[in-house]
Amino acid sequence: MEKLYEILENICPGIDVRSEALVDDGLIDSFDIVALVGEIMDEFGVELNVDDILPENFNSADAIMSLIERSR
Amino acid sequence: MSFTTPTFVIAAVTSVVLYYLIPKRTRPYLLLAASLGFYLAGGWQAMVYLVGCGLLTYSASLGIDAVRAKIEDSSRAKFFCKTLAAGCIFLCFGLLFAVKYWDWFAVLTADAMLKLGFGAPLPTLELIVPLGISFYTFKSVGYVIDVYRKKYPAERNFARHLLFVSYFPQIVQGPISRRNELMDAIDNPSPDIALNLKCGIQTALRGYLKKLVIADRAAVAVNAILGDPEGYGGAMVLMAILLYSIQLYCDFSGGIDMARGISLAYGVEMTENFRRPLFASSLADYWRRWHITLGSWMRDYVFYPLSLSKPLIKFGKFTRKRIGGKLGKILPTSAATFAIYIFIGIWHGASFKYIAFGFWNGILITASLLLEPLFLRVKEKLSFIGIGAWRVIGILRTNLIVVAGRYLTRAATFTTALSLFALLFTNPQFGRLFDGSLMGLGLTFEDWIIMLICALALALFELAEEITGKDMFTLIDERPAALQVAVIAAVLIVLVVFGIYRGDYIASEFIYKQY
């Protein structure tokens, strides 16, 4: 989880990475999501694709983590 | 049938009355009948395209669901589903290309075809361009992709699917709704009839005011100046482009307000398509506020697939490793962004000016992404300038860029746009702005005053929405009842006196219906 927080902080400096509404509150946008997917695929060695790009999958670090778990 | 004709208003009011008189479960069918009736009023030929698009996307989505249910081997099922979805998208966009772009392409390639020894150029088709074809093609294709992505199952009832494709409030100029959002709203309309009518009427009135009082008047002055740009000079041309920007916003967002208002009267809330673009602080922010549903369509169905495609992912890995830093990270995303704006440009029509419009937006947004670290450093150095002042600077800069881009969309061709812009330096004639020329553009003094007062009132209203974060209904609802009635009565009077009973020299045609 710490690794994911670190990635989020790198991509979107200054946001509250523990927020439960990253997408809903506009803390991350489509550019961030694409960058995030690239980083996640590199760091966690999983294969994500466009079908996974749903707001609910990126709304919180927990949601992103469970997406990573599902993709393993 | 235009939204601004008395026939349409009478038909819309009748449909709202009928809607609340019939049983709830039959209401979607009334909306379907109204939608088909509205479209049929424009001619049966266009109807063939609409129903064809509906049948094609209905069959493809059912096919995708059937393949998933019958074929157990997931890789085979995926192959068939992908083939079905891709085939349907190819046919839908092929049809759109045939009616909107083929003739342009045939003329453009005529010389090349002869030089290449083909004997004759490609034939032109001269097909009619059905009303709103881009809008319903995009939303239908979005639906098929959503079914392919397993976002929701395919619709089994063809009448309901046809209602989604043809829903009349949004067929002329959008918004480009998603199937789940629109059909959920139709299936579960707001039950409070009084509130529906109140919100619907307020929204539609705002739309009619924007269109009939502001946009149509601005169009008269714009057409007069751009009819003789050399004679009026560059400064007046700039004034025309400025007025055209106001006209375009009031025309397009006014049409959307009318559409949303009519739909709200049924209790069906449609997706928002504009969020005060006047107050955008960057060009990227502007595109998040202007024609929102086209932007989000492009994001979900073009930007994400493109950004996450294998070549771009590989490219991203390469740039992160070899270039590194911010540039290495954002280069692939910037490439996808650039492609999106070219696509948006082409969506507007078959002309080099629209491709140039795409380049204009693509280059500026990509450059702003790449130069962001530099801007941040400059901002740090100029720390004596407060946040509020930066916001105002950003808004002014964005509006300047947007107005400059409008030279491209308003001029007849790309080269005309360049020559119109050049006039500002070669033949400005600044004096024409003050010598009474503005009064000789076909509008009376009264027209100018009412147009400017309404445009200013609209801008102030939007400023209040922007500052408070509250929407129009809340802002009006918070006032005492007497003031609410006075505001609505004033809008109605202005609309009747200056919008309906106006001079014959003011025409009324929606700009975006041609898309």
Complex confidence, ipTM: 0.77
Three state DSSP letters for B270-303: CCCCCCCHHHCCCHHHHHHHCCHHHHHHHHHHHH
Does the CB of A4 have a partner CB in chain B at under 8 Å?
A: no
Cβ neighbors of B323 (< 8 A, separation 6 or more) are B331
The stretches of B349-443 forming alpha helices (DSSP H) are 352-370, 372-381, 387-410, 414-426
User: Which of B68, B304, B306 to mutate to test binding with chain A, by most A CBs within 10 Å of its CB?
Assistant: B304
Distance from C-alpha of B224 to C-alpha of B178, rounded to nearest angstrom: 40
Going along chain A from its start, the domains and CATH numbers come out as 2-71 (1.10.1200.10)
Alpha helices in B209-351 (DSSP H): 216-227, 229-232, 234-265, 283-289, 292-298, 304-307, 310-322, 325-347
Chain B contact for A49 (CB, 8 A cutoff)? yes
Q: What does the pLDDT read at residue B514?
A: 58
In the prediction, which pLDDT does B508 show?
65
Among A30, A48, A49, the residue with its CB nearest the CB of B299 is A30
Q: Are B2 and B12 in contact (CB under 8 A)?
A: no
Q: Are B304 and A34 in contact (CB under 8 A)?
A: yes
Least CA distance to A37: which residue of chain B? B308
CA-to-CA dists, residue B464 to B272, B311, B461, B507, angstroms: 18, 46, 5, 31
Q: Which of B14, B13, B410, B42 is nearest to B251 (CA)?
A: B410
Cβ–Cβ under 8 Å, residues B284 and A26: no
Output the tens digit of pLDDT for each of chain B's 515 residues. Answer: 788 888 999 999 999 999 999 999 999 999 999 999 999 988 888 899 999 999 999 999 999 999 998 887 778 888 999 999 999 999 999 999 999 889 888 888 888 888 887 878 888 888 888 888 999 999 999 999 999 988 899 999 999 999 999 999 999 888 999 999 999 999 999 999 999 999 999 999 999 999 999 999 999 999 999 999 999 999 999 999 999 999 999 999 999 999 999 999 999 999 999 999 999 988 888 988 999 999 999 988 998 888 888 888 788 778 877 887 777 777 888 888 888 888 888 888 778 888 888 888 888 888 887 787 788 888 888 888 888 888 999 999 999 999 999 999 899 889 999 999 999 999 999 888 898 888 889 898 999 999 999 999 999 999 999 999 988 888 888 888 898 888 888 888 988 888 777 766 666 677 666 56
Q: Which residue of B64, B74, B81, B307 to mutate against A (max A Cβ within 10 Å)?
A: B307
B77-98 core/surface letters (b: 16 or more CB in 10 A; e: else): beebbeebbeebbebbeebbee
The whole-number pLDDT of residue B26 equals 95
Question: How many Cβ pairs within 8 Å bridge chains A and B?
Answer: 39
Task: Please list every residue in chain A whose beta carbon sits closer than 8 Å to the beta carbon of residue B150.
Answer: 51
Identify all chain A residues contacting B332, using CB atoms and an 8 Å cutoff.
Answer: 34, 38
Judged by CB atoms closer than 8 Å, whether chains meet at A34 and B329 is answered as no
Report the interhelical angle of B193-208 vs B234-265 (nearest 10°). Answer: 160
